[in-house]
Structure formats: C-alpha cells, structure tokens
Chains A and B, each alone.
Chain A
C-alpha cells in the first residue's frame, strides 16, 4: 500500500471512531426512546459537514451539466473523499428520484452482520443522509434523503429532489 492510501485509511478509521462517539454521546444526551431526535441531530451535523466538504472536493471540477451529473459526482469523488469508496450502483427514474446503493457502507462495518441490530443500524445512516443533503443543496439541488439498511453492511440512500 502506498503512503497515501495508508493515510486515507487511518484518517478514515479516526473518523469512524469519532462518529461512533458522536452517536453514543447524542444517545446519552437524548435518553432512551428518542431515536428520532438523535437521528435528526446527526443529520443536521452531517448536513453542515457535507456543505463544506463538497466545496473542497468540487473545487477543480467543471460546472455540473445537469442534475444527474451532480448526483454522479456525489457517488464518485464525493463518496470517495468521505468514505474511501464509490457508491456501487446508482438508479434513477429520470424524474426526481435517485437510489444510491452502497454494498459495504463504511459506518456499518463495525456492527454485527446479523439482523439483531438492524434497528440500531438505521441511526448510523443518518449522518450520511445529512452529508448528501448538505452537499447537494450547496450545488443547488434541494432534496430529501432517506436511507435503509438492505442487508448488513449494505444500504441504500434514496434522494428525492424537491422542486
């Protein structure tokens, strides 16, 4: 492995640990049965980070030709910067919905693979939902993002563009 990939790997793992701590901190603060509140706060945290991160990543990128072009950028460069890998599959209905498949989402990889913690796993997707809304809103696309665990550690993000 080259120096650069090693560095990317370690800062990635530092980020994963930090994210874990943020989740547990928010959970403790909110108390039990406040999953919605925790997820919302994670999302707004992610939104803020996504807004700034997209500015850094897209700095040398030519202007996006259209909405699809911007979404493709999020699946590639943006996702690589954030999670060290591409989105594995992108589907769209060519109207207002994009579905992003990540077959091995980084933030789910520390969780057990069974179905036991599937409910909990949902919380670990909120930050990334926020990253996407933040990044897309900063390139002029207002959207709603929902996420779902398909089979651990795979998940999908559904981006619905708001008009």
Chain B
C-alpha cells in the first residue's frame, strides 16, 4: 500500500484512458462490421481525420521548423511526433535504395497494452489508426504518403513494423482566380 510516485502513475493512467477508449471503439467496430478489412479501413479513415487536426497541435507544442528532406521528416516524425503523443520513439529502419520508403519499428505500442486478438479476427489490424494519423498529418505538410502495416506483434510477429512510402509532394493549391 504505497502512494508514492503519484505523478508518474497519473501520467501512465491518463494515457490509459486513450488506450481503453480506443479498445472499446475497435470492439464496437468489430461488432458493427462483418469483415476485418472494413474495420481496418474505418480505423484508417478515423486516424486520417485525427492526423489532419493533430498536426496543428504538434506545431503549437514543438515549435518545429521546416524539414528539408524525407529522411529528416522521418526523424521528426519519430523523435518528436511519436514521442510527444504516444511517449515512445520507434526506430527508423529498412530504407529503400531510392530513399523514398522506410519502416517504423515499434518495440512498444501503448495502444495494445491490454489487447489480445481472438483467433477469429486474425485479419484485424488493431492499431491501423496510427497509419491514418501519419497519413493525415503528413498530408498537412504537403507530403502525400502511403502507410501500411507490415507486421504486428499482436499477430504473432517479433516486432511491430509500419511502412511509410513517399508518393509525391503536394503543391499548395491556390483557389481559382486568386492568382
């Protein structure tokens, strides 16, 4: 019976509200949709909407400047972005030869703290919302990317790996007649 280290505890637990709520959401989606693929898609969509808004918050808190290349963007994404919101720093690895594709390796994923996948839902990408968030947030800084899960600890792999592929640089669209 000790109450020492309260601040640390609160921090841990306050992140738990997020993980628990996320878990309840996924469980609900699994009940609502028939196919795991549909759930994955829905999670990605919700993540995208979150990412689009989250980027503002990110800039407000980080005072981060402009990135000069994709490698630097990857660095900021992991060391600043992931650290800020999820409290973990994934490793950037497996760069493609062209330098337009990399993997994020997560040793620890706070979203899955309380999760076990049932046998019947092996197609479910539980943390797929992360892909959506990355896609949404990067789109707001003019980077169009494709993000997908390569492997997931929940599905028996050794580590969790998310692949990010650079598609193109979006130009600022100027509304017609504003030129």
Contact = CB atoms under 8 A, between A and B. Distances in A.
Interface of A: 2, 4, 6-8, 10-15, 17-19, 21-22, 24-25, 29, 41, 45, 48-49, 52-53, 56-57, 60, 62, 80-82, 84
User: Which 5 A/B pairs are nearest by Cβ-Cβ distance?
Assistant: A11-B15, A21-B46, A17-B50, A15-B18, A4-B11
B32 A29 contact: yes
A78 B148 CA distance: 36
A81 B13 contact: yes
Interface in B74-103: 84-87
Nearest to A13: B57
B53 A17 contact: yes
A60 B5 CA distance: 11
A49 B1 contact: no
**Chain A interface, DSSP helix/strand/loop, else mixed:** helix
B115 interface: no
B85 A52 contact: no
B17 interface: yes
A29 B31 CA distance: 13
Contacts of B15: 7, 11
B71 to A, nearest CB: 25
A40 B25 CA distance: 14
Interface residues of B, number: 35
Contacts of A7: 11, 14-15, 87
Interface of B: 1-3, 7-11, 13-18, 20-22, 24-25, 27-28, 32, 42, 46, 49-50, 53-54, 57, 61, 84-87, 114
Contacts of B32: 29
Contacts of A81: 10, 13-14, 16-17
Contacts of B24: 45, 48-49
Given A4-B8, A82-B17, A17 B22 contact: no
Given A18-B22, A45-B25, A45-B28, A10 B61 contact: yes
B7 A4 contact: yes
A17 B54 CA distance: 8
A14 B61 CA distance: 13
A56 B54 contact: no
Given A8-B11, A45-B28, A84-B14, A52 B61 contact: no
Contacts of B20: 49, 52-53
A135 to B, nearest CB: 12
B87 to A, nearest CB: 6
Contacts of A8: 10-11, 14
A116 B86 CA distance: 35
B114 A52 contact: yes
Contacts of A80: 10
Highest count of chain A CB atoms <10 Å: which of B10, B61, B85: B10
30 contacts: A2-B7, A4-B11, A7-B11, A10-B84, A10-B85, A11-B15, A11-B17, A11-B18, A14-B18, A14-B50, A14-B85, A15-B18, A15-B21, A17-B50, A18-B21, A18-B22, A21-B46, A21-B50, A22-B21, A22-B25, A41-B28, A45-B24, A48-B24, A48-B27, A52-B114, A53-B20, A60-B1, A81-B10, A81-B13, A81-B14
